[in-house]
Amino acid sequence: MKRVMTSKERVLTTFANQAADRVPINYIANPGIHQRLLTHFKLRAGDDEGLRKALGVDFRGVSAPYVGPKLHPDLPERQVDNWGIRTRWIEHESGGYWDFCDFPLQEADEETVAAWPMPSPDDFDYSRVLEACRRSGGYALHVGGPGLPDIINGNGFLRGMEQTLVDLVTDDPAGLLLATRRTEINLEVMRRTLEAAKGRIAFLWMGEDLGTQQSQIISLELYRKHIRPLHQKIVDLAKSYHLPVMIHSCGSSSWAFEDFIAMGINVVDTLQPEAKDMSPAYLKKTFGGRLAFHGCISTAGPVAFGTVKDVVKSCRATLEIMMPGGGYCFAPTHCLQDNSPTENVLAMYETAVAYGRY
């Protein structure tokens, strides 16, 4: 029998496309199902760490909190963050969510974008990073996340999706400057966070949504022209600290995976199995051994709409395809949705524990 690994050992072994003692497990969820899981495990509201332990989660995020001034005014019926991104609350039958709106830089020129208030890397409290790392010592700690740099979505939150795509096609200087400013700020915050962690970070997580369910959002040529150079800066930062890189990308995005490999990216996250060229079998056959995988458990499939039996069957099938030889982390394709029955989510994680051992 293999010895029991620490979470950090388990994740790094998997990221290196080798078989660990079991598949690493990760968790991300919307507030409604998250609260129902807390209630199920008889945990108090806000005990996120207790829930992660109950589910067997191997990953933990580390960040430096923002402590600078408020940069954008409050608006009625809106949430406004320090980048000036605005959201409004949208109700639906199983809960609700904050949806992006208004797009204040939609018609902005280059001068307006250059003057738009954004957080300064000086206004984050890096002194808290090391203690956060120490509290989560044995886990696979990461900096960054799916929203870094997330150029298409991130620019879209401020300029609207249509204008953002037009910017990429037409080389609009305002849109390109917005992408560059956001990336450079995030890059410096991440660099200082890694420095403050003093070698305790396991990997860097970045993201960019590149596909719809049916096809790619932009051409490979456009990706290489405007987005890959900014992505490469983040990868290069990680490599300067000898860290593996995981990239999040929703939808049909395997068309970009050869570029990811060439850039030095080690792991791909999300892996929506219903999207074009994203089935577990296709990914394992085409990229297995060259990329590790994190995700594949659809939040729009049996977990949301099936029975417990359906969930177990689907999760077992994914494990059987993705586990051989290592290189697979069990995780939902996106946030678990509020319409997912509690018993289905529990079955999902119970299946990972029961059948995810080598």
> What pLDDT band is residue 161 in, cutting at 50, 70 and 90?
very high
Residue 303 located in a structural domain:
yes
pLDDT at 1: 62
Residues in CB range of 82: below 8 A, 6 or more apart: 66, 68, 70, 71, 72, 117, 118, 119
Integer Cα distance of 236 and 181 in angstroms: 18
Integer Cα distance of 247 and 151 in angstroms: 13
Q: Work out how many domains the chain is built from and give that number.
A: 1
pLDDT at 137: 87
pLDDT digits (tens, 9 = 90+) for 222-236: 999 999 999 999 999
* Residue 69 and residue 129 in contact, taking contact as beta carbons nearer than 8 Å: no
The pLDDT mean for the chain works out to: 97
> What pLDDT band is residue 136 in, cutting at 50, 70 and 90?
very high
In the structure encoding, which two tokens stand for residue 320, read together?
Answer: 């059987």
Domain that holds residue 345: 7-69+120-355
Residue with tokens 């290069």: 236
Residue with tokens 């030095």: 264
The helix/strand/coil state of 174 is helix
pLDDT digits (tens, 9 = 90+) for 168-221: 999 999 999 999 999 999 999 999 999 999 999 999 999 999 999 999 999 999
For residue 35, give the H/E element and its range: helix 31-40
Phi-psi region of 103 (alpha: psi -120 to 50; beta: other; left: phi over 0): left
The residue-averaged pLDDT of 78-83 equals 98
Residue 226 located in a structural domain:
yes
* Residue 187 and residue 230 in contact, taking contact as beta carbons nearer than 8 Å: no
**pTM of the entire predicted model:** 0.96
Q: Are strands 267-270 and 292-297 parallel, antiparallel or unpaired?
A: parallel
The residue-averaged pLDDT of 284-295 equals 98
Q: Are strands 86-92 and 95-101 parallel, antiparallel or unpaired?
A: antiparallel
Integer Cα distance of 291 and 280 in angstroms: 13
pLDDT over threshold 80, residue 2: no
The residue-averaged pLDDT of 68-81 equals 97
Residue with tokens 């900014």: 230
Through-space distance between the first and last CA atoms of the chain, rounded to whole angstroms? 9
List the beta bridge partners of residue 100.
87
Residue 164 located in a structural domain:
yes
The residue-averaged pLDDT of 238-246 equals 98
* Residue 274 and residue 301 in contact, taking contact as beta carbons nearer than 8 Å: yes
For residue 248, give the H/E element and its range: strand 245-249
Q: What CATH number is associated with residue 255?
A: 3.20.20.210
Residue 105 located in a structural domain:
no
DSSP state of 225: I
